[in-house]
Amino acid sequence: MPMFRDWVPKRIQPWIYILQVLCIQFSGGVYLGALEAVRGTTALQLEDLLMLLYAGLAGMAVWFPMLFRTKFRFTNQQLLITSAVLIAVCNLISMSTTNMAILLPVCFIAGIAKIQGTFECMSNIQLWMTPERDFGVFFPILHIILLTAITGSAWLAAVVAFHFSWQMMHVLTVGTMCFVILVQITLCRPWCPMPQRMPLKGIDIASGLLISLLMLMISYILVYGDRLMWFFSPTLRWILAVGLILLAFIMYRLKTVENPYISLEIFKYKNVLAILLVTAIAELLLGAEHTLEEIYWTEVRGLEEHTKGALCLWSLPGVYVGVLITLYWLGHARWPKKRKENHTVHVKLWTVWKLFAIGFGCILVYSMWMYFYLDVNVPIEQYRLGLAFRGCAYAILAVSLMWSLHESVHDLQHFFMALFIFNVIHMYLAGASGYGLYTTLFKHFMADNMARYGDYLTLTTAGEQFSIINSQLSISVMSVTLKQIFGQIIWVAGLMTSAFMLLDIPRVRTGIEKVPYWPVYGIKMLARLRN
């Protein structure tokens, strides 16, 4: 790792970068683990906080095409120090204001800084993880860090908000960013994999900004749709009309600009559309975690935020089991195969489609577990195994889908563009769609069930007794409603599992190609720009 100073022991150098990436991954613009504390002390509603969350995710997704361009233009110190400073400043602003017009761009910038810092750290220790640059090994190890930080940050924010205040999580993040800056100043020196820096010329920044605006408009419709009665609201109708016009203009620009921000040739690669479709279905099914579980833990069981965070930590053992499965499946399950040129190529022993079946099977077990144990009389400890299956499903599908995308899109520049589309669906669009879908279904089924079971109440019941019975009825109807929605998830997950198990779908790609070093890509990119 040439970015470290000579006196730093080589054995601890990669672990220093892992510690830095954990600090960056635990950061964010808003922390939903402290949701109730933020709502209790500010005028922000649940939809406002979700909008800020998706603004941060939009910033992370839209910056993917820029990642290796910035890596070849700036040094590691410049990238990591800038990312840490931006995250620290965004956290200071987030804890100081509740103005949505200020918080939206702040969270968007925080998302950009977060993905840039994460990429810089992980790309520098990639050869330490897998000297052959095998993405069947790199992606599982990467997701250990990412999924640990996603779950752990929610739990940590809840604990800090319970014992202190929700602002202290932002203060803690500022402190960790100071640690990252201190490490870069004292232990590292400026280093860039490209001796001749690649200029940032030729980047279609205008298209990137327009795509970001479109993503924020879509998230506004999906997040606020149920609250504003969807398209009965003139505001949402106007946003939809402007969004369609903006989408048409973006597509025209991407087709006519010489170097578009996102190349439409990505969709010509084999299996890309199929991978994106499977990603959307998987994320819609896993969206029950953010919506249905939140309703059940908060409204039905009345759990505090730190209790919910501690309970959801049980998904981490499932995450680690899922990562180990994908690591063995994608990284080691191979056999040698000889080609006509008399050289050996390693070929996957099992198809990745069967791995998809295992992932959807874990979703099926999780949804069935929640369906049969959804009752106020069931101890919350009974849900631990179901949450572990949910974590296992998320790890298997996230890693295997990303690996399949890499194996389908060979060119690195196109791969990062494909990662942008993949992450728009994976962590942004499908999640927001799942929230809108599940809240609408819950509202519909809840009203229908209350109308059916409300006949048991009579107006002749005494006032206090009526209030108690009505409260108990509402809790029971909520449980029945959640069971209905989980029942539909069971059908879809079972169908997907059966499809991947029974259908003989060809593998994404059999040959595992050797990936060259970063400077090789940089030289090719520089030559392309000169031409």
Supply the pLDDT for residue 336: 46
What is the distance between the alpha carbons of residues 225 and 530, in angstroms, rounded to a whole number? 48
pLDDT score of 89: 92
Of the candidates 387, 437, 133, 151, the one whose C-alpha atom is nearest the C-alpha of residue 283 is 437
pLDDT score, position 364:
92
Residue 455 neighbours by CB under 8 Å, 6+ apart: none
Note the pLDDT tens digit of each residue in 80-136: 999 999 999 999 998 888 888 888 889 889 988 999 888 888 888 888 888 877 777
For residue 420, give the nearest of 106, 207, 202 by alpha carbon. 207
Q: What is the pLDDT of residue 470?
A: 57
Give the integer Cα–Cα distance in Å for 64 and 61.
6
Cα–Cα distance measured from residue 125 to residue 18, given in angstroms and rounded to the nearest whole number: 8
Residue 225 contacts by C-beta under 8 Å, 6 or more apart in sequence?
A: 236, 436, 440
- CA-CA-CA-CA torsion sign (285, 289, 290, 292): positive
Specify the pTM: 0.83
DSSP 170-235: HHHHHHHHHHHHHHHHHTB----S-SSPPP-TT--HHHHHHHHHHHHHHHHHHHHTTTTTGGGSHH
CA distance 427 to 431: 6
Interhelix angle 272-286/430-453, rounded to 10 degrees, is 40
Element (H, E) at 336: strand 334-338
Tell me the residue type at 87: I
pLDDT tens digits in sequence order for the chain, 531 residues long: 888 888 888 888 889 889 999 989 888 777 777 777 777 777 778 788 888 888 888 888 888 888 878 888 888 888 899 999 999 999 999 888 888 888 888 988 998 899 988 888 888 888 888 887 777 788 888 888 888 888 888 888 888 888 888 888 888 989 999 999 999 898 888 887 777 777 777 778 888 888 888 888 888 888 888 788 887 888 888 988 998 998 899 888 888 887 888 888 888 888 888 888 888 888 888 877 778 888 888 888 778 878 888 888 888 899 999 988 888 887 654 444 444 444 444 445 567 778 888 899 999 999 999 888 888 888 888 888 888 999 999 899 888 888 888 888 877 777 878 888 888 887 777 777 777 788 888 888 888 877 777 666 554 455 555 555 556 777 778 888 888 888 888 999 999 888 887 765 454 434 445 555 666 667 777 777 777
Q: What is the 3-state secondary structure (H, E, C) of 269-324?
A: CCCHHHHHHHHHHHHHHHHHHCCHHHHHHHHHCCCCHHHHHHHHCCHHHHHHHHHH
Distance CA 324, CA 396 (A): 9
For 468, half-sphere exposure in the C-beta direction (CA atoms, 13 angstrom radius) is: 4
CA distance 157 to 91: 13
Instruction: For 301-312, write each residue's pLDDT tens digit.
Output: 778 878 888 888
